[in-house]
Structures are given as structure tokens and as C-alpha cells.
Chains A and B, each alone.
Chain A
């Protein structure tokens, strides 16, 4: 069976500090990978997606970037965090473009102070 991991679970960072959130998927190969953010009281917003190693597409211009150095690893980064980057960050995977269902990790709660 497939498993998706995210870490850390919670993070408190000062404004201007860097960020690195990691996501890994087990039990499948060549998944589509996604980063979402849920701001307080809002739905989930797609930030980045990747259909293969080194292939990153951005949905929303922002202070963040993403990378996919390995097939089942997806990293969300920032060089300098803003207060507005606070939120709940979720990684998700799907099998391929023909499959609509996406499966989410446990999430990372980021608070920028």
C-alpha cells in the first residue's frame, strides 16, 4: 500500500528565516506530487505540482519554491519567510493524470512570527 509522509508536523519560524518542508511517498513509482496550503478558515489552495523529477509547475506566484530531487520526494522551500506564509501545508500524490483522486499527507502547521 502507498504511504505519504510529511515533516515536520509543526514549525514556528521568525520572519525572514528560510524554510524547508519535505514530503516523501512510499509504495508507488512516478507519482504526480502536489503542494497545497490551507489558510485559516479557507479551502485548500494548490501551490505547486510535479509530474516527474525536476519538473515543477507553479500555480500561484509567491514567496515559495518547490523541488523534486527524487521520484518520490517533494520539497517546499523559501529563502525568507513572510508573515503571510503561515498556514497548514499539505502534500498530496496521485498515480497519473488519468487518475483524479489525490491522497494527502498529514500536513505541516507553519507559524511565522
Chain B
């Protein structure tokens, strides 16, 4: 049962344009959402996050939008740069005993074309 889904395995965007990566979730108990960026053979790097009580969080070129009624979040990157080419994972957090469990989507491979 995939609680967090990224339905686009890949996305190709021209340099300078906006990249929009999408993520859907099914569990309404998730209370925090995160985006990670991953290069091959490396661990994921934390990018940006959003609490379930907000609908937008912005950090430089990166903005995350959350639509709770639709159980949907998206990551906007503008303008896109060649260094943004990587696999992007969205993750949702649910509480454990004394810790937080991150449930990850399958990832979307973003390619920025010059």
C-alpha cells in the first residue's frame, strides 16, 4: 500500500523555466511533509519542508505548496538550473514512539536541459 505517490517517474525541463514536481498522499494523519534531492550513489539531501497547518513555504528558488483537501503537495523550482538535475523524493512524516517515521514516494528524476 503506497501511502505517498509520485506518479511521474521523470520530468524534463529547459534551463531557466519552472520545474513542478508533484506528490500525492493517502494518510490524513501525516502532519509534516519534506522534499529531498538525491544524486546517484549519494544519500538524499534535505531541501525544504512544510507543516500540515500551512499551505506554502518558500526558500530561495524552491517553494512547496500543500493542498490538504486534495492530499497533494508540489515542489516548484524557479528558475531551473542544470545543477538541479537529480532524483527528487517527497516524504511524509508520522509519529512513532519517540521518533518520526518518514514515508517516501518513489522519486521523480528531474533533468534540466541547457
Chain B interface (Cβ within 8 Å of chain A)?
A: 4, 32, 34, 36, 41-46, 49, 89, 91, 93, 95-107
- A14-22, A41-49, A65-73 - interface stretch: A41-49
Across-interface contacts of B34 in A (CB, < 8 A): 100-101
The docked-state distance in angstroms from the alpha carbon of A110 to that of B113 is: 32
- Chain A: interface residue total (CB-CB under 8 A): 28
Shortest distance from the beta carbon of B54 to any chain A beta carbon, whole Å? 13
Across-interface contacts of A4 in B (CB, < 8 A): 43
Assuming the contacts A100-B34, A100-B49, asked whether A46 and B101 have C-beta atoms less than 8 A apart, the reply is yes
The docked-state distance in angstroms from the alpha carbon of A45 to that of B3 is: 12
Does more than half of chain A's interface fall in helix, strand or loop, or is it mixed?
Answer: strand
Across-interface contacts of A107 in B (CB, < 8 A): 41-43
Total residue contacts A-B, CB cutoff 8 A:
67
Contact among A45, A90, A99, A100 for B43, CB-based, below 8 A: A90
Question: Do the beta carbons of A105 and B106 come within 8 Å of each other?
Answer: no
Question: Do the beta carbons of A51 and B45 come within 8 Å of each other?
Answer: no
Question: Do the beta carbons of A32 and B44 come within 8 Å of each other?
Answer: no
Question: Do the beta carbons of B106 and A41 come within 8 Å of each other?
Answer: yes
The docked-state distance in angstroms from the alpha carbon of A51 to that of B89 is: 24
Across-interface contacts of A94 in B (CB, < 8 A): 99-100
Question: Do the beta carbons of B43 and A97 come within 8 Å of each other?
Answer: no
Question: Do the beta carbons of B100 and A97 come within 8 Å of each other?
Answer: yes
Per the 8 Å Cβ criterion, residues 58-113 of A in contact with B are: 59, 90, 92, 94, 97, 99-107, 109
Q: Could you show 20 A-B contacts with beta carbons less than 8 Å apart?
A: A6-B43, A42-B106, A43-B89, A43-B106, A44-B89, A49-B96, A49-B99, A51-B97, A59-B101, A94-B99, A97-B95, A97-B96, A97-B99, A100-B34, A100-B100, A101-B34, A101-B46, A101-B49, A106-B43, A109-B41
